Structure 1
Amino acid sequence: SGSLRFHPERFGNTYEHWMTNVRDWCISRQLWWGHRIPVWYCQECGEVVVAREDPSQCGSCGGALEQDPDVLDTWFSSWLWPFSTLGWPEETADLARFYPTNTLSTAPEILFFWVARMVMAGLEFVGELPFTDVLLHGTVRDASGRRMSKSLGNGVDPLEVVRLFGADAMRFTLVNAAALGTDLQLDHEDLESSFRVGRNFANKMWNAVRFGLGYLTEADVRANPLDTQLEVTDRWILDRFAATSASATEALERFRLHDAAEVTYQFVWGDFCDWYLELAKTRLRGDRGEESREAAAATFAFVLDGWLRLLQPMMPFITEEMYCHLPGRSEEDSLMHGPWPDPRADLSAPDAVAAVETLQEIIGAVRNLRADYGIDPGRPVDVVLARTPASLSDVLTAEMEGLLRLGRMSSLETLESVPAGEPGAHAVLRSGAQVFLPLAGVVDVEKERHRTQSEIDRLRDLLAGSRRRLEDSRFVDRAPAEVVQREREKVSSFEERLTVLVEKREAFGSG
């Protein structure tokens, strides 16, 4: 009827298959503990009695009865759990309040043994489904994909992980790695690498909050950023937070815990820590005036408070600890009792998003050019920005200090066009603007030109050889299909690398 929902949905088909193909199964177990089978045998006439209440004597001959010594299988006890724990069959306050519940989280392999039985029992004895949603999680396996077990000695001791990295690091790693309905693998022999994601993220969060505590006041924490003179980067991070909050909320409502963790992780680590925090540093210090400081501080505090709330279900300990250290908060204040971030249409700022994305593109281009031309990442370089959209002028001026620091640039000059005839590397942005990095004095131009030309010549020889093989009908017809395909892939790879190298050679000039 759709009143019982499965996550992932595909398990609904499995459930229906089980329920429409029910077969007899052995219900007796030879165990000490369990519900006794309600069957008695007459010691006089051999009559078999099945009854709801304990019979006192045989109904046929009045003889003594002896109950079967076996017990029902464990699922007969387990299927009563949703209501038997609440005082049933008595009409208790707990039963009225807590039955039915909302969600059951369990493993797919007991879908029929436990989930279906609880549904049967709930409908039979209480008249209602025991829950409306069933979340079927994956299995934690070892690095080889094997199920963890004591006999194999490949299990991970969660208490050891908590001791080494903390409960939140463990919890976030598991949630972030477990996409809905899929298994995840951990290396029990290398806990460091298995739980690195959660540990590093917790450290990143802690450092961001510790930085903020050095600049935020109680007034900043209580301020509404929309009441301040917001700058472009403030409006951008508020827009990004609103979008992240909406995405994380939707993911949680759809039981996609992994998606909620991932989108929040990318926002906190990337947008907030790597970009906004870095661009806002000088403003938080007051270097650009009190009005700018107030806007940055109010925005920083507001967004920080928001992502702590988003992460609280996944990382409850560290988020609570950081929250109570914010100015004006105390240990009595708790995220657990606070509101979830609401969708905020008033935080939308598409123009600010476009502007900051261009700034990010500039920094990304500079970093890529450094890597492509082997320039020391720590060496300051001069950069020219040409054909810059007029709408970006004010943002560039305002954020120049942060851009120079993030790009390790000694200068960023805006010109109408790139310098003609000067050796340099360039990249074209989506807006049509050009990033130009002069190479003279930064690298040995003549040496790099010669080395690049040698690599071009080598690749051209390899490309010619592969093309000759593919033009040979005997090779194409007789060689295994995977060998021919591999040769075609080589051609594509050689062509792509040649295109990059030719552009690189041109950047060094004609010599």
Structure 2
Amino acid sequence: PARWTDTYLTWMDNLKDWCISRQLWWGHRIPVFYCEDCGWSDALMEDTDVCPKCGGHHVHQDENVLDTWFSSQLWTFATQGWPDDTAELEAHHPTKVLVTARDIIALWVARMIMSSLYFTDEVPFHDVFIYATILAKDGSRMSKSKGNGVDPMELIKMYGADAMRYNLLTLITNNQDVKFDADIDKQTKALIGSPRTEQARGFVTKIWNASRFVQMNLDGYVPGAPKVETPEDAWMLSRLARAVSEATEQLETYNLGDYARNIQSFFRGEVCDWYIELCKGRLLDGTPEEKLQVQRNLVYVLDVSMRLLHPVMPFVTESVWDALPASGLDPHDAEFLMVAKWPEPSELAAFVDEKAEGDFELAKRVISCVRSTRARYRLSPKAELAVAVRCGEAEAEVLAGQEAFIKNVGRVSEVSCGDVQKAEGAVSVADGTLEIFVGLGGLVDLAAEGARLKKELAKAEKDLASVERTLGNQGFVAKAAPEVIEKKRAQAAELTATIDQLKSQIADFE
């Protein structure tokens, strides 16, 4: 990163004499030999007990060891069989990237480059990725003396390796250091838990369950190419192509935090919550031809998704991929997912369909508003609702083409779009450029519902006033622990959001 370039260059531009000798019991012994008979001394690659100058036998090696960083600077080539011209050296030197911490840029990174250029005439790596320092929950440095360090093995035991790895990657932002949310018992120093890592474990479970559903519905499956048969197919394959392109670019430019967060948003929010759900109808009630094609689409989407997720969650994806049959576009002939081919953006470019994505996203917005209204008023998922969408001509035309899809997926009895008016007994839901009216007449006692909401609003306003009084008490703020104050502030923000939502709902009944 540019902000660390000066750290590297300052050391290189201000080289000082370096004592490479250390008086320690361990380490690489200095390969310098001395003759007590004639005074000869030199550095040799191999041990000797005979002086090459006078032939004397009173030769001894220097008793001291090389400085740790002097030994370490040889790492990139000495571990590959150097000075011999080995196959390992040919295959692995130079490499592409070094991943390391900022505090050893001068101690190790610069010295590895220096020694590699001297001994092999090669730069040992082309990119240096400086990772963030992981701090304790309160922003302090983790240390054994403070007892605020988190043992990775304890996290793995509690949540699994994939969850820990994923959570760490999602913490990465443009800021250099990150806070880890683990709670530590102040008395025993034992790990209590990490809410973010627990959420990451939930994502691992989501991946596993989604894959199990697909695998359990592959009776009669025969490999074949994915194909667009429905609006959701066109949307999903286009979104998959974009996910491949975005993930590839993010990994190549080391935007690991964006990669981890975006790949979860894609798989959980689009593959699981929408596409797999929408495929269930064809899997259960479709014709044999429809069922086979949706199986092929699902296998392909899951196959590519596992490849995209593998760098961040290697264990669950390896297991899922191993159980998947071959898709129509990939023979699935690699022994492990780890060495399987990465999906190339160019190979999926033909699936990109901006219109299909735009049309589907518009229909999704309408369906999401209908679903949120259904949940808000505790309506049966089987109850069909009349929906009117106030929007522009272009949007009305798109939604008209998606009418059958909206009715089927949203459990909607009728859809009208354009310059429509709110009907009596309907509630209004705003979503960007859309204003959606959902009819509730006969399904909800509007008077009773309005009274209930006003009662909830009064309680929420009373609770907020109490929290704000506490936060306004300077004595409390001065004495309370930071985490207690933060919890109160979070409570105030949550109550404010609840009050705004209740007022919006109450407005529907007035």
Q: Same fold (TM over 0.5)?
A: yes
Report deviation, 1:260.
1.8
TM-score scaled by structure 2? 0.76
Match of 1:176 in 2: 170
**Which whole-Å CA distance do the structure 2 matches of 1:261 and 1:134 have between them?**
20
Q: Which amino acid aligns with 2:407?
A: M
Identify which of 343, 358, 363 aligns with 2:362: 358
1:323–1:97 distance in 2 versus 1, CA, 3 Å = closer
**Which whole-Å CA distance do the structure 2 matches of 1:337 and 1:499 have between them?**
51
**Which whole-Å CA distance do the structure 1 matches of 2:504 and 2:94 have between them?**
67
Q: Which amino acid aligns with 1:257?
A: L
Task: Assess if the C-alpha contact under 8 Å between 2:165 and 2:313 holds in 1.
Answer: yes
1:28–1:225 distance in 2 versus 1, CA, 3 Å = same
Of 110-119 and 176-185, deviating more is: 176-185
Q: Tell me whether 1:106 sits opposite 2:100 in the alignment.
A: yes
Q: Which amino acid aligns with 1:402?
A: V
Report the secondary structure of 1:252's partner residue.
helix
**Which whole-Å CA distance do the structure 1 matches of 2:98 and 2:169 have between them?**
17
TM-score scaled by structure 1? 0.76
Report the secondary structure of 1:132's partner residue.
strand
Report deviation, 1:498.
10
Identify which of 293, 304, 321 aligns with 2:291: 293
Of 123-132 and 144-153, deviating more is: 144-153
Q: How many residues are aligned here?
A: 455
**Which whole-Å CA distance do the structure 2 matches of 1:178 and 1:500 have between them?**
32
Q: CA-to-partner distance for each residue in 1:146-194, whole Å, 9 max, x for gaps?
A: 3333333333333333333332222222223234644341415233524
Write the mapping of 1:223-242 to structure 2, written as runs, cut at 5 A. Answer: 223-226=224-227, 230-242=229-241
Match of 2:2 in 1: 9
Report the secondary structure of 2:311's partner residue.
coil
Unmatched 5+ stretches in structure 2:
185-190, 462-495
Report deviation, 1:126.
1.2
Q: Tell me whether 1:326 sits opposite 2:328 in the alignment.
A: no
**Which whole-Å CA distance do the structure 1 matches of 2:210 and 2:452 have between them?**
46
Task: Assess if the C-alpha contact under 8 Å between 1:324 and 1:331 holds in 2.
Answer: no
1:124–1:358 distance in 2 versus 1, CA, 3 Å = same
**Which whole-Å CA distance do the structure 2 matches of 1:378 and 1:320 have between them?**
39
1:262–1:127 distance in 2 versus 1, CA, 3 Å = same
Q: CA-to-partner distance for each residue in 1:327-357, whole Å, 9 max, x for gaps?
A: 4699974323322112122101112111211
Task: Assess if the C-alpha contact under 8 Å between 2:407 and 2:415 holds in 1.
Answer: no
Q: CA-to-partner distance for each residue in 1:270-303, whole Å, 9 max, x for gaps?
A: 000001111121012134x344333322221111
Of 347-356 and 112-121, deviating more is: 347-356
Q: Tell me whether 1:263 sits opposite 2:262 in the alignment.
A: yes
Q: CA-to-partner distance for each residue in 1:363-406, whole Å, 9 max, x for gaps?
A: 332355467xx5237675734224572333342314533222xx
Task: Assess if the C-alpha contact under 8 Å between 1:34 and 1:71 holds in 2.
Answer: yes
Of 199-208 and 434-443, deviating more is: 434-443
**Which whole-Å CA distance do the structure 1 matches of 2:403 and 2:23 have between them?**
78
**Which whole-Å CA distance do the structure 2 matches of 1:307 and 1:418 have between them?**
41
1:161–1:428 distance in 2 versus 1, CA, 3 Å = closer
Write the mapping of 1:243-262 to structure 2, written as runs, cut at 5 A. Answer: 243-262=242-261
Unmatched 5+ stretches in structure 1:
1-7, 460-494
Match of 2:397 in 1: 390
Report deviation, 1:242.
0.4
1:255–1:72 distance in 2 versus 1, CA, 3 Å = same
Match of 1:476 in 2: none
Task: Assess if the C-alpha contact under 8 Å between 1:37 and 1:71 holds in 2.
Answer: yes
Task: Assess if the C-alpha contact under 8 Å between 2:134 and 2:177 holds in 1.
Answer: no
Report the secondary structure of 1:195's partner residue.
helix
Q: Which amino acid aligns with 1:267?
A: F
Report the secondary structure of 1:294's partner residue.
helix
Structure showing greater Rg:
1
Identify which of 438, 444, 447 aligns with 1:445: 447
Report deviation, 1:317.
2.2
Task: Assess if the C-alpha contact under 8 Å between 2:446 and 2:509 holds in 1.
Answer: no
Task: Assess if the C-alpha contact under 8 Å between 1:365 and 1:435 holds in 2.
Answer: no
Match of 2:26 in 1: 33
Q: Tell me whether 1:302 sits opposite 2:303 in the alignment.
A: no
Write the mapping of 1:300-449 to structure 2, written as runs, cut at 5 A. Answer: 300-327=298-325, 333-343=335-345, 344-369=348-373, 375-376=377-378, 380=383, 382-387=385-390, 389-404=396-411, 411-414=413-416, 422-430=424-432, 432=434, 434-438=436-440, 441-445=443-447, 448=450
Match of 2:209 in 1: 207
Report deviation, 1:243.
0.4
Superposed CA RMSD: 4.0
1:284–1:431 distance in 2 versus 1, CA, 3 Å = farther
